[in-house]
Chains A and B, each alone.
Chain A
Amino acid sequence: DGGITQSPKYLFRKEGQNVTLSCEQNLNHDAMYWYRQDPGQGLRLIYYSQIVNDFQKGDIAEGYSVSREKKESFPLTVTSAQKNPTAFYLCASSTAPLYEQYFGPGTRLTVT
């Protein structure tokens, strides 16, 4: 079955530590995205990538970094510079930017 996988489902870290969230897709989609979801707010775009080795900042990129070395993979690193990292992180992909996005199951990150 084609789809998007994110790991781990739950992640706990201490303040000051960098952490990397995994996102893999086997849908052969070119575009991939990272969103953050907080209670009472709409999904907010962190980074997106249209093709391999290219990515762009979204609305809230500060304190985050990404890489896109393979079409299937788009990992997100939450750095210690992110002031409020505790959130639900969602990865998505689409065939092209004009079309609907398909989401992974999400990773809930808790930083204490």
Chain B
Amino acid sequence: EDQVTQSPEALRLQEGESSSLNCSYTVSGLRGLFWYRQDPGKGPEFLFTLYSAGEEKEKERLKATLTKKESFLHITAPKPEDSATYLCAVKGTLGGYQKVTFGTGTKLQVIP
């Protein structure tokens, strides 16, 4: 069974204090790893898809990286508007090609 573990559960940063969120996964045949941002009471917003180890993607202050066992979401010089819950999800080959397994998220708070 595919599994996704995100750490830490919650993270509090000062504005400008860079850090990383971790997503550890076990999957039979990774087809894709996804990062989403979710604001309270709203649906997740798609950020990145990573397909193979070594791949990196960037968007503004966010950079996602992927190894064979984990993915990191690096946040550089965060601002208060980056406060949200960040979700990681993986798609493997088991369970049919529609199966996506989500982690429980890291709740990020950026303090001015």
Question: In chain B between 1 and 46, which residues have their CB closer than 8 angstroms to a CB of chain A?
Answer: 4, 31-32, 34, 36, 41-46
Cβ contact within 8 Å between A42 and B4: yes
Does B61 have its Cβ within 8 Å of any Cβ on chain A? Answer: no
In the assembled complex, which residues on chain B have CB atoms less than 8 Å from the CB atom of A48? 98
Q: How close is A101's CB to chain B, nearest CB, in angstroms? A: 7
Complex alpha-carbon distance, A60 and B112, angstroms:
41
Complex alpha-carbon distance, A43 and B87, angstroms:
10
Given the known inter-chain contacts A42-B4, A42-B102, please indicate yes or no for A98 contacting B43, CB distance below 8 A: no
Given the known inter-chain contacts A42-B104, A98-B91, A98-B97, please indicate yes or no for A103 contacting B32, CB distance below 8 A: no
Does B49 have its Cβ within 8 Å of any Cβ on chain A? Answer: yes
Q: How close is B9's CB to chain A, nearest CB, in angstroms? A: 9
Cβ contact within 8 Å between A100 and B49: yes
In the assembled complex, which residues on chain A have CB atoms less than 8 Å from the CB atom of B101? 42
Taking a contact as CB atoms closer than 8 A, the residue among A41, A97, A105 that contacts B43 in the complex is A105
Give the B interface residue count (CB, 8 A): 25
Cβ contacts A70-112/B at 8 Å (1 or 0 each)? 0000000000000000000010100001111111111010000
Taking a contact as CB atoms closer than 8 A, the residue among A45, A56, A104, A105 that contacts B100 in the complex is A45
Using C-beta atoms within 8 Å of the partner chain, give the interface range for chain A: 20 to 34
Closest to A9 in B: B41
Among A43, A90, A106, chain B packs the most CB atoms within 10 A around the CB of A43
Residues on B close to A: CB < 8 A?
A: 4, 31-32, 34, 36, 41-46, 49, 87, 89, 91, 96-105
Report the 8 A-B pairs with minimum CB-CB distance, sorted nearest first: A103-B43, A42-B102, A43-B102, A97-B97, A97-B98, A103-B44, A106-B43, A105-B43
29 pairs, A vs B, C-beta closer than 8 Å:
A6-B43, A33-B98, A40-B104, A41-B104, A42-B4, A42-B87, A45-B100, A48-B98, A50-B98, A56-B96, A90-B43, A90-B44, A92-B43, A97-B91, A97-B97, A97-B98, A98-B31, A98-B91, A98-B97, A99-B32, A99-B49, A100-B34, A100-B49, A101-B34, A102-B46, A103-B45, A103-B46, A105-B42, A105-B43
